[in-house]
Structure formats: C-alpha cells, structure tokens
Amino acid sequence: MVLGFVGVRRESSTTFRAGYLLVTDYGRPIEFHYTAPVTVPQSHQLLYGPDFEPIFFSESLAKPMTDRQSAAPHLIVVASPALLRLRQMIPAPVVYVFRVSPDGPWACQSHPEFAKDQGIFEKAASMVPPGFDWREIFERIDAALAETKETSPLLVA
C-alpha cells in the first residue's frame, strides 16, 4: 500500500512552501516532492477571504506535486483541513487525520463531497502496523523542507 502525505509551511506572512512524501504502509519513503517558496501578496490573500488557504494550498501547492508522482497512492493524508479541497482535483482519496484525544483513537475528516474517503482511511488504518503514527510523517516532511532551506514550522491544524 502506498500512502501520500502533504503539508504546507508558512515561511512568512506572504511566502509558502509545501512537501509531499509517498511512503509504504510501514512508513518507509518511496519518493519526496517539494515546492520552491511561493509568495502571495497580502492583498491577494485578502481578496480570496476565507477561501485563500483551501484554494491556494490545494491548487497551487499540492496539486502540482501530485502531478509529478510516479507511484499512485491508495490514500493521501493532509496536514490541515484546508488541504481537503485537493480531493476535488485528484482521483485518490484525501483525509485529514487527527486523534480524538491525546491518547485516543485516530479519526479523520474528508472533503464533504467525498465522505466515502473516511471508509478508505479506516481500511488503510487496519492494514498498517500497530502503533503507526499518522501525524509523525509530517515531522519528517517538515525536517526535509528545513534541510532544503531554513524556514518556519509546518502549518499543522
């Protein structure tokens, strides 16, 4: 099983970068893609209003990286709910994964138009090794992006 993980970093109030890591069901890396820094003037962010992050993160950052992948993921996990819009642009299921409580079970959120993606996550969760940490992969993406350029921490909701 191939799993994809997409995260976005804010380098400044107007500059963003993203990373996309494909891993096996054991969390072993298959391939990694990342964007160059992209600057969006504050005025443009204001004009998009609350839709800025879902549109920009998904269309300008995440989608181009998924276009370059060589392995098709069974599921893509995103670092924040703003990236769920990516699902409208690609055939792979997309979910935001989180813990219900600090030591509680994993849960997920999908794009409202793709509620079936939650069932695909549940199936994938049953196939990964016990103790698989669905959020730890974002720490790896963040560290890899930091190696490519000193930046601020990954935006994780």
- Tell me the domain boundaries of the chain: 2-155
Whether 155 and 80 have beta carbons less than 8 Å apart is answered as yes
Angle subtended at Cα 85 by Cα 83 and Cα 86, rounded to the nearest 5 degrees: 75
β partners of residue 35:
none
For residue 154, the model assigns a pLDDT of: 53
For residue 145, the model assigns a pLDDT of: 87
Helix H or strand E encompassing 20:
strand 15-24
- Per run of 10 residues, the mean pLDDT along the chain (length 157 residues) is 95 92 95 92 93 95 95 96 97 95 91 97 95 94 82 51
Using the structure block, give the residue that is written with the tokens 């994938």.
124
Task: Please give the single-letter amino acid code of residue 2.
Answer: V
Whether 65 and 78 have beta carbons less than 8 Å apart is answered as no
For residue 53, the model assigns a pLDDT of: 95
pTM of the prediction? 0.91
DSSP reduced 3-state for 149: coil
Task: Give the pairing of strands 15-24 and 2-10.
Answer: antiparallel
For residue 103, the model assigns a pLDDT of: 84
